[in-house]
Amino acid sequence: MSFLNFNLIASGNQHGVEDFELPLQTRAISVLNFFRLILSLIFISLYLFTNIEIWWTNSTTLLFFNLSIAYFAFSIIALFINPIKSASHPFLLPLQVVIDIVFITLLMHAAGGIQSGLGLLLIISIVTASVVSQGRLALFYAAIASVCLLLEQSYQIIQGDISAASYTQSVMLSLSCFATAWLAYSLAKRMQQSEALASARGIDIENLSQINALITQEMQDGVIVVDEKLNIRHHNLQAESLLTLPKNNSSSIALANNTPEIAMLFNGWLEGGNASNLIVSVGGRELKLQFMQMSPLRAMGAVIFIQDVSQLQSKAQQAKLAALGRLTANIAHEIRNPLSAISHANQLLQEDHLSAPTSRILQIIEDNIQRIDQIIQDVLMLNRRNRTELQEIELNEFLTDFHAQFCAVEKIATDHFQLGALLKKQIITFDRSHLTQILWNLCKNGWEHGQKKPNSLHLHYRELSKNKLSIHVSDDGKGIAEIDRAKLFEPFFTTKTSGNGLGLYISRELAEANGASLEYQALTQGSAFVVHLKSTANTQLNLN
């Protein structure tokens, strides 16, 4: 059910159940209509297929038959009128009930009066009408029936057919009509209140179910509900992604068939095992499980919460690095002031005519001051990783300018740093300063580890698909030992004696801040770093 349906359900709950006709009332009206139709057919059948004088004495058989035909026609009309919903609908039902009472009274008169027993049919009509009416209308129907009974009895007495003492039967039947009407209305009112309450509770439960479904789908943790037969009855999108469950499957999913690793732990939990902090490997992911039983008995099923351990570790690492970044940024600002003073004092000392050993010591101090200052700049750059200014960059032009600038600043011969062929015009969206910093770190790292010969360093890009590109920086060095590759992008990890271990880490962080990624590739001779990014436009343009 969609969120729109949820709003409609909630709106219906606010307006209350009075806005629609309750099933009890609908059934009662239908019963009354069919009772009227069947009763008229019975009367017609009695006249056509039996000797009616055997059943009722002193009756006018032709009048009884005509009234039965008229009553049948009225019942047919009522069946067609009942579905009509109009402004006059509230008056249709009382009018039909009054006509019912009049017809039954006339049929009773034609059948011989109160002695015929047809007056009891008034009780059925009044009971049915009272179920769908308000309290006053129920008593009104009883009053109409009583008036009709007394008038019919009075007419019989005036005609001289019966004595005045026979009023007792009419009075008793009239009192029965009043008592039945009030009792039927009271019971129907309670039934309607119970039905309305049940309907409101059903709407509340449906709303609660929709809220729970929305909350479950937005959870970062996977959630699956397992019944007593080890079938998955419900799961959210995160669980579907973590466990690769089938999509849009309305039938139950067997836990053992789809995730046997979790099924094995679940069976152990059913036997009294631990319910939390369970680690299982599913599809190459380390998942943390927690079982929560839905009833006092574990065998009745459980809710299983699933967390991706790698994501938890990544979030914890990001939180630590964020706190470390703020701390180191503050420390860097505090270090720069005394460092500037030391550097200034060292420059003043170098201006004096000092001995060679003393000059050598001052030069070592200067070199280390520059090294500390570079570390501070790298730390401040890392702290500004989220301040990206995305812009469209024409990649061919950018790489050409970068190649020339890098060779000039690092004093590298152009034949030692080879730039690949640029055949297409590629437009990418990236922060220009961040892309420069990334490539500068990678190229400088490749040059330092390469053999510093012609074609030792190589820069080119590849078109992987229509909107995906990759920039490759490769060297001809010894490569990176396999044992060190896992820690390659960790901060402050370096294999050089003079490095600070922040270059590759900062490059990867800047790439991710721009929606790209950085990875290492081992080559037969040397190493390669690949920046995966997206292009915003791709037009064929041969460069002459």
Is residue 276 scored above 70 in pLDDT? no
Is residue 438 scored above 80 in pLDDT? yes
What whole-number distance in Å separates Cα of residue 255 and Cα of residue 227? 10
Is residue 476 scored above 50 in pLDDT? yes
Fold topology of 391-539: Heat Shock Protein 90 (3.30.565)
pLDDT of residue 346: 81
What whole-number distance in Å separates Cα of residue 266 and Cα of residue 4? 37
pTM: 0.41
Q: Which residues of 412-430 are buried (b: 16+ CB within 10 A; e: fewer)?
A: beeebbebeebebbbebbb
pLDDT of residue 17: 38
From the list 405, 402, 498, the residue with the least C-alpha distance to 445 is 498
What whole-number distance in Å separates Cα of residue 404 and Cα of residue 409? 9
Per domain, the residue ranges of the chain are: 3-201, 218-309, 313-383, 391-539
Average pLDDT of the chain to the nearest whole number: 76
Strand partners, 469: 463, 533
Identify the three-state secondary structure at position 47: helix
418 φ/ψ angles, rounded to the nearest 5 degrees: -90, 130
Please give the structure tokens belonging to residue 71.
């009553």
What whole-number distance in Å separates Cα of residue 307 and Cα of residue 146? 75
For 218-309, CATH number? 3.30.450.20
Q: Which residues of 390-411 are buried (b: 16+ CB within 10 A; e: fewer)?
A: eeebebbebbeebbeebbeeee
Confidence bin at 3 (pLDDT 50/70/90): very low
184 with 127: CB under 8 angstroms? yes
Q: Which of 149-158, 441-450, 534-543 has the lowest mean pLDDT?
A: 534-543
pLDDT of residue 59: 46
Is residue 375 scored above 80 in pLDDT? no
* CATH 1.20.58, applies to 313-383: no
> pLDDT digit string (tens) for 20-59?
444 556 666 777 778 888 888 888 887 777 655 544 444 4
Q: Which of 315-319, 329-333, 464-468, 480-484 has the lowest mean pLDDT?
A: 315-319
pLDDT of residue 498: 60
From the list 309, 272, 319, 271, the residue with the least C-alpha distance to 289 is 309
437 with 375: CB under 8 angstroms? no
Is residue 336 scored above 80 in pLDDT? no
Q: What angle is formed at CA 261 by the lines to CA 256 and CA 264, rounded to 5 degrees?
A: 70
What whole-number distance in Å separates Cα of residue 408 and Cα of residue 413? 8
> pLDDT digit string (tens) for 502-535?
778 888 888 888 888 888 888 888 889 999 887 6
What whole-number distance in Å separates Cα of residue 408 and Cα of residue 417? 11
What whole-number distance in Å separates Cα of residue 434 and Cα of residue 440? 10
From the list 237, 222, 229, the residue with the least C-alpha distance to 280 is 222
> pLDDT digit string (tens) for 130-159?
777 766 777 888 888 888 888 888 887 887
